[in-house]
Amino acid sequence: MASLCAAGTSYATWATPTIPFYIFYSMFGFQRTGDLIWSFGDMRGRGFMLGGTAGRTTLNGEGLQHEDGHSHVLASTVPNLRAYDPAFAYETAEIVRDGIRRMYTIPFDDPEGDCFYYLTLYNENYVMPALPSGPAVPGLEDLGSVTDGIIRGLYRFAPAPDGKKRRAAILFSGSSWLAAEAAQELLADEWDCGAELWSATSYKALREEALSAERVNRLHPTANPEVPYVTRALEQSEGPVIAVTDFMKQLPDMVGRWVPRTFVPLGTDGYGRSDTRDALRRHFETDAAHVVVAVLSALAADGDAKTEEVADAIERYGINPDAPDPRTA
């Protein structure tokens, strides 16, 4: 971390900019060197911090000492840090590209350039899709392209399957993409529900933009009110919104009050433990089956599903409704 501080401030101390990339176990970053990270932000450092083998269930087998499900919560406290939890290679590439542009082409006294970056990276293998074309939010071209959505923190990754009676939206980050994709298929095939998939690359960015909009509205009461990006984006979807993450529920819950409909966060609250990824995701209730149950439960709360359907799904997928709460297990 001291090396990052030296390299990340060389543009000021030596008039020689460098672009440092500091990679570490994500569990051992903010939790153990948080004071130096705060200092780095305060001294206007520039660079990328990369939390490797991130996620409470992705670094399986190493127990509570290595399984990180809260570094993004800690990252949310640093004012000028831009924190991202990308799911795909193209998201990581676009975030790094934008970071270099901001930190090294925008004047240092401009808040848009006065920042540094934290990206979480995973060690789970799955096929990387191509960068989607089109707008970040179909129907709202003024919100920009998919690339713009990546940077702003949210974009629609995949439409809902056609011909389904009920609708929902599933937000995913990082390796939780796998549960979201599998849940979309189960909902379509077994529950007559078409779910859109949305990639939430940065809840911190979404929250801060929403807070800024609130502040503008509060201090300019006679002007046309600003609507937060996350609200405008999700207004284009239908049905309840379910967020699944390999981090604590607190992370997606940071934007909960700006989600325009029923919102349910699924996350990994509790200590890590040594087991397989499948077992850990069942334990933390973030696997595809729990995403399906969350969607059906939210539909039932909205009057669009029967409670018997929720009970049927719990039984069908072998979920133990009396299992200990993972937060306290």
Q: Count how many Cα atoms sit within 13 Å of the Cα of residue 247 in the half-sphere of its side chain.
A: 30
Query: For the chain, where are the alpha helices, taking DSSP H only?
Result: 2-8, 10-13, 30-42, 71-75, 89-105, 146-152, 177-190, 203-219, 229-234, 250-253, 277-283, 288-301, 307-316
Above 80 in pLDDT, residue 92? Answer: yes
pLDDT, tens only, 122-158: 989 999 999 999 999 999 999 999 999 999 999 999 9
List Cα–Cα distances, 58 to 119, 286, 328, in angstroms.
15, 12, 20
Q: What is the pLDDT of residues 182-201, one digit of tens each?
A: 999 999 999 999 999 999 99
Residue 194 sits at the vertex; the CA angle it makes with 193 and 198, to the nearest 5 degrees, is: 130
Q: Which fold has domain 154-316?
A: Rossmann fold (3.40.50)
Classify domain 2-120 at the CATH superfamily level: Thiamin diphosphate (ThDP)-binding fold, Pyr/PP domains (3.40.50.970)
Residues of the chain with CATH 3.40.50.920: 154-316
Q: Kindly report the average pLDDT of the chain as a whole number.
A: 96
- How does residue 65 score in pLDDT terms, banded at 50, 70 and 90? confident
What type of residue is 50? L
pLDDT at 63 > cutoff 80: no
Query: 299, 269 in Cβ contact below 8 A?
Result: no
pLDDT at 299: 98
Residue 49 has pLDDT above 90, yes or no: yes
Closest to 295 in 3D by CA, of 175, 112, 160: 160
Backbone angles phi, psi at 45, to 5 degrees: -70, 155
- 110 or 172, which is more confident: 172
- Token pair belonging to 105: 């082409």
Handedness of CA 304, 307, 312, 317 (dihedral sign): positive
Q: What is the pLDDT of residue 158?
A: 97
> pLDDT for 224-273, tens place per residue?
999 999 999 999 999 999 999 999 999 999 999 999 999 999 999 999 98
Domain span(s) for CATH 3.40.50.970 in the chain: 2-120
Instruction: Give the distance from CA 219 to its chain's centroid.
Output: 30
